[in-house]
């Protein structure tokens, strides 16, 4: 079975989507529509902005969403998913690609999500760190033992778990995890503690927007971050989407479940190759490919 996966924040690059704009009339039309919906010319920042421009959450998230969704749309007959998943933000791209949500609604939600997250980050400065080379259970135990907000946030692949929390919580956890034998405990250049309880104000804000958005049953199962399980029911998809902001991204478990359910190839649609690398670490023999340009 063919699985298609969609990347999250961090995969952005200057020049992204320019080839789509120049070579596909449909992509050009939708990118101009995106400029109107967002109220600023995101295409200028995607095609010719600086790395700093693209790092702003309110730009990064819509930019990656647009790049991923438009690639899927321009693939035509080559895009025939039998199952989909997306990493964090990528879940929104996956939902639009699987026809559970319209392009316009998906973009509006992604923009609202980015702004809500930005506000939550500014209200409570916080961060994330990648922990390399330890069992998930060890990382979970250490996080639970610390008297600060710090949780396991992204189960990326075996031996790589990202933690999220307050600056004090992350510092303490990194110190203890290094003592416990982590090969690396590396703070990430992110704006805040995504997928942690510190995103609760953003979750509340986004919940109302998701509730008001029409979500249909997708054309194929979507494996969602919060429970790593296949979902085709629109109401359940909505609930999981709301829970995603404060819940962990169970990517390792998602890939394992997709393989158990018959996935024999994975295609990453969107910028970067991060998900291909993670999937290979889950199963070395798995066929992976990427589509990042027209």
pLDDT for position 293: 83
Residues 6+ positions from 94 with CB-CB distance below 8 Å = 4, 5, 6, 84, 85, 86, 222
- The whole domain housing 275 covers 2-122+197-291
- Residue 28: its H or E element: helix 25-38
Check whether residue 77 and residue 51 sit in a common domain.
yes
Task: Give the model confidence (pLDDT) of 172-182 as tens digits.
Answer: 999 999 999 99
Confidence of residue 190 (pLDDT cuts 50, 70, 90): confident
Q: DSSP 3-state assignment of 271?
A: coil
In angstroms, rounded to a whole number, what is the distance separating the alpha carbons of residues 49 and 120? Answer: 25
- Residues ≥6 apart with Cβ < 8 Å to 269: 4, 5, 6, 68, 71, 72, 75, 79, 93, 97, 290, 291
* Residue 212 DSSP symbol: T
pLDDT at 139: 97
pLDDT-based confidence at residue 108 (cuts at 50, 70, 90): very high
In the chain, what are the helix, strand and coil shares in percent, each to the nearest 5? 50, 15, 30
User: Residue 205: helix, strand or coil by DSSP?
Assistant: helix
- Domain check: are 62 and 49 in the same one? yes
d(CA 83, CA 167): 37
| Domain match, 130 and 201 both | no
CB-CB contact of 245 with 89 (8 Å): no
9-13, 152-156, 253-257, 266-270: least confident range:
9-13
Ranges of H-type helices in 56-124: 57-74, 90-97, 103-123
Q: Which of 288, 246, 271, 286 is nearest to 54 (CA)?
A: 271
- The rounded distance, in Å, linking the Cα atoms of 88 and 51 is 21
Instruction: Tell me the mean pLDDT in the region 96-117.
Output: 96
| CATH classification at residue 208 | 3.40.366.10
Neighbour count for residue 289 (Cβ, 10 Å): 11
Whether residues 14 and 113 share a domain: the answer is yes
Best CA proximity match to 128, nearest among 167, 87, 181: 167
Contact 246, 194 (CB under 8 A): no
- pLDDT band, residue 101 (cuts 50/70/90): very high
Question: Domain check: are 50 and 34 in the same one?
Answer: yes
In the block, residue with structure tokens 């359910």: 261
Q: What's the structural domain count of the chain?
A: 2
Distance CA(7)–CA(276), nearest Å, equals: 10
Of the chain, the end-to-end C-alpha distance in Å amounts to 23
Q: Which of the residues 93, 164, 166, 195 is marked catalytic?
A: 195
> Has residue 58 got a pLDDT over 90?
no
Do 130 and 276 reside in the same domain of the chain?
no
| Domain CATH number, residue 156 | 3.30.70.250
The pLDDT score that the predictor gives to residue 294 is: 75
Looking at 137, 154, 187, the residue that finishes a domain is 187
Same domain, 168 and 132: yes
pTM of this structure: 0.95
Verify that 138 and 271 share a domain, yes or no.
no
- The CB-based long-range contact list for 138-144 (8 Å cut-off, 24+ gap) reads 138/177, 138/180, 139/163, 139/177, 142/173, 142/176, 142/177, 142/180, 143/173
**Do both 71 and 158 map to the same domain?**
no
Do 141 and 114 share a domain, yes or no?
no
Q: Is 181 left (phi over 0), alpha (psi -120 to 50) or beta?
A: left
Same domain for 117 and 129: no
Q: Looking at 193-260, list the stretches that DSSP marks H as alpha helix, in order from N- to C-terminal side.
A: 200-211, 234-243, 251-260
Q: Confirm whether 88 is a catalytic residue.
A: yes
The catalytic position among 88, 111, 126, 292 is: 88
Q: What average pLDDT does range 13-29 have in this prediction?
A: 95
Q: Do residue 27 and residue 114 come from a single domain?
A: yes
Q: Last residue of some domain: 187, 220, 241?
A: 187
192 lies in a domain?
no
Task: Summarize pLDDT for 124-177 with one digit per residue, the tens.
Answer: 889 999 999 999 999 999 999 999 999 999 999 999 999 999 999 999 999 999
């Amino acid at each position: 079975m063919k699985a298609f996966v969609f990347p999250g924040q961090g995969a952005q690059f200057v020049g992204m989507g320019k080839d789509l704009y120049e070579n596909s009339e449909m992509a050009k039309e939708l990118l101009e529509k995106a400029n109107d919906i967002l109220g600023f010319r995101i295409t200028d920042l995607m095609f010719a902005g600086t790395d700093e421009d693209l790092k702003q959450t309110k730009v990064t998230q819509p930019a990656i969403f647009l790049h991923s969704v438009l690639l899927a749309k321009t693939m035509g007959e080559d895009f025939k998913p039998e199952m989909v998943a997306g990493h964090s933000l990528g879940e929104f791209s996956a939902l639009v690609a699987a026809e559970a949500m319209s392009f316009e609604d998906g973009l509006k939600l992604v923009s609202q999500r980015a702004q809500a997250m930005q506000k939550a980050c500014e209200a409570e400065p916080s961060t994330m760190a990648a922990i390399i080379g330890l069992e998930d259970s060890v990382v979970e135990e250490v996080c639970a033992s610390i008297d600060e907000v710090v949780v396991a946030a992204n189960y990326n692949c075996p031996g790589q778990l990202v933690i999220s929390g307050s600056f004090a919580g992350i510092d303490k956890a990194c110190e203890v995890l290094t003592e416990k034998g982590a090969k690396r405990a590396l703070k990430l250049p992110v704006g805040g503690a995504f997928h942690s309880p510190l995103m609760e104000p953003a979750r509340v804000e986004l919940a109302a927007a998701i509730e008001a958005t029409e979500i249909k049953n997708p054309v194929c199962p979507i494996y969602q971050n919060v429970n790593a399980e296949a979902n085709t029911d629109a109401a359940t998809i909505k609930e999981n989407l709301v829970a995603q902001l404060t819940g962990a991204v169970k990517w390792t478990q998602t890939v394992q479940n997709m393989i158990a359910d018959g996935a024999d190839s994975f295609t990453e649609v969107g910028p970067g190759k991060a998900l291909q690398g993670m999937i290979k670490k889950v199963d070395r023999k798995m066929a992976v490919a990427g589509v990042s340009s027209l």
